[in-house]
């Protein structure tokens, strides 16, 4: 089953009763794989593992992954007060060793604390984190698969609508061809009354041969069959489907250019509209 490039999943990793990490994974459509990670400084060392894991799970789209620390306000006040004292003491010692007067703004002290926090890293369970991230990635793909199923239903409906148009064209094409041939003969006869009738018949026949659309109809049906197979695939097929839309559109254009009746022209336009609708939906497929 195909997947949409739009998805969302999240989860929470609890460190203790006061501290946790909120993990959020979301994506929108993109021509390529574009991964952005926002992560706390104390977990930066996991960045490569996170990217490698999610790269296995997700193949296309603009992916945003946020891993944000959540601290209970009561804990933060108590813990932060102790940390401020500790930070000031360390910073003062550094100033003394550098033979400089100790000066530090509140923001400098806060930044120093954040860069040197050890509470989370001491209790942080990397294995538990990776397991949770895998679970979130699986939920994320399930969400994308649900949306992909809806897209597949829409696209298959359009494929069936195009096939019905092809069947309809085949039913009236021979009648339209005969009528066109008759009108063509009349027009030429009126212009050139002395023209040889056998030569006129041959020229009309050759013109109709050039206007034959059976090959285009067969190709459209063949492309539609391949599209159905791609929609039932479990592999990322968005780019292949996009290519198939180009091929379908090319055949629909040729069908329109070879038209010998208003009915064929109208059907060619209807097919192009259905193809364009499909193209828009396919932009969201992985």
What's the average model confidence in pLDDT over 253-265?
88
pLDDT above 70: percentage of residues in the chain: 83
Q: Residue 123: CB partners within 8 Å, gap ≥ 6?
A: 15, 16, 19
Q: How confident is the model at residue 108 (pLDDT cuts 50, 70, 90)?
A: confident
Q: What local confidence, expressed as pLDDT, does residue 245 receive?
A: 96
Q: Is the pLDDT of residue 203 over 90?
A: no
- Determine contact, residues 284/151, Cβ cutoff 8 Å: yes
- For 32-59, what is each residue's pLDDT tens digit? 999 999 998 888 899 999 999 999 999 9
pTM assigned to the model: 0.73
Which neighbouring-strand residues pair with 19? 71
Residue 127 CB-density burial (10 A; 0-12 exposed, 13-18 middle, 19+ buried): exposed
Q: Whats the size of the chain, residue-wise?
A: 286
Q: What local confidence, expressed as pLDDT, does residue 138 receive?
A: 95
Q: What local confidence, expressed as pLDDT, does residue 195 receive?
A: 60
Residue 114: CB atoms within 10 A of its CB come to 14
């Amino acid at each position: 089953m195909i997947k949409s490039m739009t998805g969302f999943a999240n989860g929470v990793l609890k460190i203790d009763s006061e501290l946790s990490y909120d993990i959020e994974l979301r994506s929108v459509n993109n021509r390529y794989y574009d991964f952005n990670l926002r992560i706390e400084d104390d977990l930066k060392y996991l960045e490569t593992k996170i990217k490698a894991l999610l790269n296995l799970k997700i193949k296309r789209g603009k992916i945003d992954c946020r891993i944000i620390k959540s601290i209970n306000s009561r804990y933060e006040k108590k813990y932060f007060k102790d940390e401020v004292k500790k930070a000031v003491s360390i910073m003062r010692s550094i100033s003394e060793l550098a033979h400089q007067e100790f000066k530090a703004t509140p923001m400098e002290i806060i930044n120093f604390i954040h860069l040197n926090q050890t509470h989370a890293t001491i209790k942080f369970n990397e294995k538990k984190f990776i397991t949770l991230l895998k679970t979130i990635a699986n939920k994320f793909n399930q969400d994308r698969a649900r949306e992909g199923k809806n897209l597949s239903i829409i696209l298959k409906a359009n494929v069936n609508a195009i096939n019905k148009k092809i069947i309809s064209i085949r039913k009236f094409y021979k009648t339209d061809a005969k009528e066109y041939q008759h009108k063509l003969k009349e027009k030429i006869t009126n212009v050139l009354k002395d023209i040889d009738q056998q030569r006129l018949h041959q020229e009309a026949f050759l013109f109709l041969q050039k206007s034959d659309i059976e090959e285009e109809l067969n190709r459209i049906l063949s492309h539609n069959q391949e599209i159905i197979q791609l929609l039932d695939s479990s592999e990322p097929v968005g780019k292949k489907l996009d290519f198939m839309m180009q091929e379908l559109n090319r055949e629909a254009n040729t069908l329109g250019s070879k038209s010998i009746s208003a009915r064929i022209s109208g059907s060619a336009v209807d097919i192009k509209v259905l193809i364009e609708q499909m193209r828009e939906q396919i932009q969201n497929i992985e």
